[in-house]
Amino acid sequence: MQSDSHYLFQLAWISGGCALLGALAGSMVSGYFTLRAKRSEYLNDFFKIVICKRVEAYEHLEALIQAYKSAVIDTDKQPYHSPFATSNQHMESLLRMGAAINSGLWLTDATFDSLQQINYIQFRIPEDEEDRIRFGKEHYRELAKLRDTLERQLAADMLDLHRVREFLTAKRKHSRGFHAIDSAQKKDD
């Protein structure tokens, strides 16, 4: 009888040990997949934040593009963009430019470079109404080409908006540095 009870006792220990090991292995596997799911959830939430920031930046850029889409034909039949027409429109375009530049971190480098080119031109716009209109006429084609470039870049960037990892990697590799412009430059050149 003792051998039967000893056998049952060993069987209980082995069964209990197997159950304990099974529970331990199951909880480790479950914990691993839970941690992986949480990590994926965290990355997805992070990517959503980056995409939202980028969409907001491109909305600011689109608002600036819209300002340069409309033109005025003067009495001499020469066109100029509406930001040159009145001081209010000029101020509005400066505010739109400021919002777009402030969101530049979330734009691709090529798009930001094109935006900066318009900013350099806008920086030199004279305050006097007649000079401002003359300046607008002189730079009409250049600004139209830059606006066109920005529109194409915006469309291309929208196609890759979901590629957050590649966008951030490109940002990490490229150093923008500091680029000073000559504020003493003639305003009408």
Tell me how far CA of residue 119 lies from CA of 40, 109, 116, 124, 147, in angstroms: 40, 15, 5, 9, 12
pLDDT for position 102? 94
pLDDT for position 121? 92
pLDDT in tens, 144-153: 999 999 999 9
pLDDT for position 21? 79
pLDDT in tens, 60-80: 999 999 999 999 999 999 999
Q: Is 163 helix (H, G, I), strand (E, B) or coil?
A: coil
Q: Rounded CA gap, 37 and 162, in Å? A: 20
Q: Rounded CA gap, 77 and 45, in Å? A: 53
Tell me how far CA of residue 71 lies from CA of 131, 136, 174, 183, in angstroms: 17, 10, 36, 27
Tell me how far CA of residue 105 lies from CA of 78, 124, 158, in angstroms: 36, 24, 16
Task: Provide the token pair at 132.
Answer: 């401002």
Determine contact, residues 53/166, Cβ cutoff 8 Å.
Answer: no
List beta partners, residue 81: 71
What is the full per-residue pLDDT of the chain (189 aa) written as tens digits? Answer: 567 777 777 777 787 778 777 878 788 877 777 777 777 788 889 999 999 999 999 999 999 999 999 999 999 999 999 999 988 999 999 999 999 999 999 999 999 999 999 999 988 889 899 999 999 999 999 999 999 999 999 999 999 999 999 998 888 776 665 556 565 554 444
Tell me how far CA of residue 73 lies from CA of 42, 84, 90, in angstroms: 53, 12, 17
Average pLDDT, the chain: 86
Question: Which one-letter amino acid corresponds to residue 6?
Answer: H
pTM check: above 0.95: no
Q: Rounded CA gap, 62 and 58, in Å? A: 6
